[in-house]
Amino acid sequence: MYEMLKGMRIIEVSAFIAAPYAGLSLGQMGAEVIRIDPIGGGLDYRRWPVTGDNKSLYWAGLNKGKKSIALNVRSDEGRDIAHALMTAPGSDNGFVLTNLPPRGWLEYGVLKEKRDDLIMVSIVGNRDGSVALDYTVNAAAGFPFLTGPVEYDKPVNHVMPVWDVVAALSAVQGLMAADRRRRETGEGGLVQLALSDTAFATLSHLGYVAEAEINGENRPKTGNHVFGTYGQDFETADGRRVMITAFTARHWQVLVEATNTAEEMRKIEKKLGLDLRLEENRYAARKPITDIFRDWFKRYDFATVSSKLGEAGACWGPYQSVSEAVQEDPRLSTKSPLFDEIYQPGIGTHRAAGAILEFSHMDRKKVAAAPMLGQDTDSILSKILGLSPTELEGLHKNGIIGGPVS
């Protein structure tokens, strides 16, 4: 965690991944992120994975370092409190981040009446406001028809909610750009981001859309081959699997040297009339290349393969389960500055990631645990809104505010 955004206060009203991930990212840059949840928890409060006693590891992971307020926004008084937090005065206030439906008490126009220069980032499913989730967006973008074994003609979903993550980081970008504009012009605004647009824009940026339009064809499924270049998975003599890639001439050179297959590759070049230093030719010749490499990998165990590829500087990586990565990979350990060991109340001690970015001449702060639900309700309302202990007691008694809940 860093302190570059120290002082900036963001009110997050969210569920699931996109907005919570955006809030997490801003918090890890030093912003004060206050998440508003219903009393007793929102839609994702018990979302899997969970511990044996039903504590959500998912919720804890996405809310590290935030503050939590539990609020009954079904009541007029609860909505008034939420609005007061969202529209508090000052250049470091007036930021709202949400992926809940932007209507009713969460409608931008309602909030703008209370603070004209409010900045609100709203993540929706589709541009027209209709519902979409990562898994439905990915299906519509065509990627499941490119995923899975070549001989399998049905769509194959992947499990990584990549569009939620892209949307989260795009939301951070949008909020920071809107903040700069407000500082320069005094104007706020609504920043709307459709989850489906993250997928369709990516299709365009990476050439998929033009490929379909200009070439008039669907990209073929290639299994674990990497399209347009060389990349393939292999099994070692002791049953481990590795992925190797050779995108550049240098990648190719060191891979051939590491596997001692230069003579075999020259024979392929001569037979097919191809220069394998060019990635498109490596893709065209991927089947005979793979046959040669497969024989090499079958001769050595994983430790030997790892040593030979590593010493040569080849671009490769092991296939490993999450448990194997946690147990064996130093990149996922506290040897890496990315990870700290934290104590998460109600869950226990475990590794947790901080900011992905590394800034020179700046010290990292220790990763902070997620709050208990409603942990900060009283302190936030006292500090920001100036509510007295007597007023807070009355709000608790009337079911307007709540917490903390483990």
* Full pLDDT tens readout for the chain, 406 residues: 899 999 999 999 999 999 999 999 999 999 999 999 999 999 999 999 999 999 999 999 999 999 999 999 999 999 999 999 999 999 999 999 999 999 999 999 999 999 999 999 999 999 999 999 999 999 999 999 999 999 999 999 999 999 999 999 999 999 999 999 999 999 999 999 999 999 999 999 999 999 999 999 999 999 999 999 999 999 999 999 999 999 999 999 999 999 999 999 999 999 999 999 999 999 999 999 999 999 999 999 999 999 999 999 999 999 999 999 999 999 999 999 999 999 999 999 999 999 999 999 999 999 999 999 999 999 999 999 999 999 999 999 999 999 898 7
Task: Report the half-sphere exposure of 38 (CA within 13 A, side-chain side).
Answer: 11
CB 224 within 8 A of CB 206: no
Is position 213 within any domain?
no
Quick one: DSSP state of residue 367?
A: P
Residues 194 and 283 in one domain: no
Residue showing tokens 């165990």: 301
308 in the Ramachandran plot: left (φ > 0), alpha (ψ -120 to 50) or beta? Answer: alpha
Based on the domain organization, do 302 and 160 belong to the same domain?
Answer: no
Q: Are residues 338 and 297 in the same domain?
A: no
- The CA-based dihedral angle spanning residues 118, 389, 378, 403, taken in that order and rounded to the nearest 10 degrees: -130
The type of residue at 136 is T
Beta-bridge partners for 348? 344
Both tokens of 353, joined, read 């990631």
Spatial CA neighbour of 65 closest among 345, 369, 344? 369
CATH of the domain at 62: 3.40.50.10540
- Give the separation between CA 57 and CA 204, rounded to whole angstroms: 35
Q: State which of 274, 292, 318 marks the end of a domain.
A: 318
How many C-beta neighbours within 10 Å does residue 263 have?
9
> 325 in a domain, yes or no?
no
Are 260 and 294 in a shared domain? yes
pTM over 0.75: yes
* Whole-number Å distance between alpha carbons of 399 and 374: 13
- ∠ CA 108-68-175 to the nearest 5 degrees? 40
Q: Is residue 122 part of a domain?
A: yes
Cβ 117 vs Cβ 186: under 8 Å: yes
- Are 374 and 70 in contact by the 8 Å Cβ rule? The answer is yes
Domain boundary among 318, 341, 370: 318
Task: State how many domains the chain has.
Answer: 2
- The Cα 345–Cα 351 span in angstroms is 14
Domain co-membership, 282 together with 343: no
Same domain, 89 and 31: yes
Tokens of residue 61, six digits: 């992971």
Three-state secondary structure call for residue 156: coil
Q: How far is CA 131 from the centre of its chain?
A: 20
Task: Please provide residue 20's backbone torsions phi and psi, each rounded to the nearest 5 degrees.
Answer: -60, -40
**Do both 28 and 171 map to the same domain?**
yes
Q: Which of 71, 72, 48 is nearest to 60 (CA)?
A: 48
Instruction: Report which secondary-structure segment, H or E, holds 379.
Output: helix 377-385
Q: Give the dihedral sign, CA 155/322/228/291.
A: negative
Pairwise CA distance, residues 402 & 40, whole Å: 8
The three-class DSSP label of residue 73 is coil
pLDDT at 1: 87
Query: Among the three residues 318, 341, 375, which one is the final residue of a domain in this structure?
Result: 318
Same domain (yes/no): 289, 194: no
User: What's the pLDDT score for residue 156?
Assistant: 97
176 and 37 within one domain: yes
Collect all residues with Cβ–Cβ distance below 8 Å to 255 and sequence separation of at least 6.
244, 246, 309, 312, 314, 315
Q: How far apart are CA 22 and CA 5, in angstroms?
A: 14
Same structural domain for residues 255 and 311?
yes
164 is catalytic: yes
Q: Are residues 310 and 387 in the same domain?
A: no
Residue 318 and residue 259: Cα distance in Å, rounded? 16
**Residue burial 81-103, b: 16+ Cβ < 10 Å; e: rest:** bbbebbbbeeebbbbbbbbbebe
Tokens of 287: 């089947």
Domain that holds residue 305: 241-318
Catalytic residue among 164, 179, 197, 378: 164
Phi, psi of 243 (to 5 degrees): -115, 130
Place of tokens 């935030």: 66
Within a domain: 224:
no
Cis peptide before 404 (omega within 30 of 0): yes
d(CA 36, CA 374): 8
pLDDT for position 309: 98
> Alpha-carbon distance 261 to 279, whole Å?
17
